[in-house]
Amino acid sequence: MDAKLKYKAKKIKIVFFDIDDTLRTSKTGFIPATIPTVFKQLREKGILTGIASGRGIFGVVPEIRELKPDFFVTLNGGYIEDKKGQVIYQHQIDKSDVEEYISWTKEEGIEYGLVGSHDAKLSTRTELISEAIDPIYPNLDVDPNFHEKADIYQMWTFEDKGDGLHLPDSLSDKLRMVRWHEHSSDIVPISGSKAAGVAKVVEHLGLKPENVMVFGDGLNDLELFDYAGISIAMGVSHEKIKEKADYITKTVEEDGIFDALEGFGMVEKELHFPQVDIETAEGPLATIKTNHGDLRIKLFPEHAPKTVANFVALSKDGYYDGVIFHRIIKDFMIQGGDPTGTGMGGESIYGDSFEDEFSEELYNIRGALSMANAGPNTNGSQFFIVQNQHLPYSKKEIARGGWPEPIAEIYAEQGGTPHLDRRHTVFGQLVDAESFAVLDAIAAVETGVMDKPVEDVVIETIEIED
């Protein structure tokens, strides 16, 4: 991401999101699990949020409302509410213009829709209309005279004429068409747009366009992209939108919004530490059977997929059967996995050394299973289990050093080897008290030259429960 753009992001005080194919997929309604995190973290940072949509507020699905945005710019800027339901701005279309529009649609032989602030109606129901409108507003009623009972803020065309359709001269100086679907256009006031609506909110807050970031994907976002300080197009956006965008992010399904905001430094990943609650952690269970007892270890394939695959495959092939723990240092760790028993051998399933897999969610706390190595990206078959029970630092001191608080607490209370973090790949964790007792018993054996046990500590076999 461009450094100049990241600098501009420091001025952002409010972020507006389109709904369809931005916050959610229009065809399936899928909303990424990261979206609530985005709204929560922006709120915590004091950054306001808003919805900027061609939808009416009645068409904002419950899942989006539950995000609790600060503002709803709806109907392409025609109707705006804050999170308390207070109207910030509204602009109705003159009834005479609505009536003239309806007359024109009849002359053109096309159908129409009428949109109020909190409801909408159709002139009729056809397959073409249903295909266009139902993904946005399912089950709208038919009422061609809705304008006689309610103020109208926006209208629709339903047709297959595309860009060849134009409003008559008598209306074109008051209304304009904004294409949003291959079979439909929004008919909005000539000055109406998402950009105009967002500008009303910005004015209401005493902010400037440079304080605004917007996410969108469709043609009705064009003016908004011109207006905002930073404009971000989704991966599936219309080409004209991509051309105007300051940045193009991934698709909805690929967590595009979170990805972009993380790049700007406006949100951070929510970390989950499987070692903190090992009983609920998912993954294969490895049982290292030794002549001193069993070591039961939960493996973490999601965090270290290549490392776990290597360990599991070697274990199932019997590679570790009869291999000793060749290096044991009490109050530090026990190391094994080298068939030569020297600490100089061992091969991975990949036929060569393979790269480190460091995770922000795994650490060398007491009981951690980590890869032994001879430097960066030199993993083979050797591994160690952290045994140290004592650290001369408090939780506060460790956290101040940059470790997450839950991990700092474990280090302070249970021990570990934090100096090995980001140097050795953690890929498993002891799961029960019995395993820790075996670990401590092995660590307490008598050792001689090169920290090798006087009497062999043998891995009889390693069993894997997938």
Of 2, 18, 21, 321, which is the active-site residue?
Answer: 18
371: DSSP letter: E
**What sign has the CA pseudo-torsion 34, 209, 59, 254?**
negative
**Cβ 398 vs Cβ 412: under 8 Å:** yes
Residue 255 bears catalytic tag: no
Q: Nearest Cα to 438, choosing from 301, 300, 287?
A: 287
Within 13 Å, how many C-alpha atoms sit on residue 174's CB side?
16
| Residue linked to tokens 């060569």 | 352
Which helix H or strand E contains 296, and what residues bound it? strand 293-299
Please report which helix (H) or strand (E) contains residue 232, including its range: strand 230-233
Q: How far apart are CA 322 and CA 288, in angstroms?
A: 11
Cα dihedral across residues 317, 321, 326, 330: positive or negative: positive
Burial (0-12, 13-18, 19+ Cβ within 10 Å), 217: buried
The structure tokens listed for 423 are 């140097």
Classify residue 162 by its DSSP letter. G
Residue found by looking up tokens 């290292």 in the block: 288
Q: 290 forms bridges with which residues in the sheet?
A: 293, 459
Phi, psi of 176 (to 5 degrees): -145, 160
> Are the C-beta atoms of 67 and 15 separated by less than 8 Å?
no
- List the catalytic residues: 18
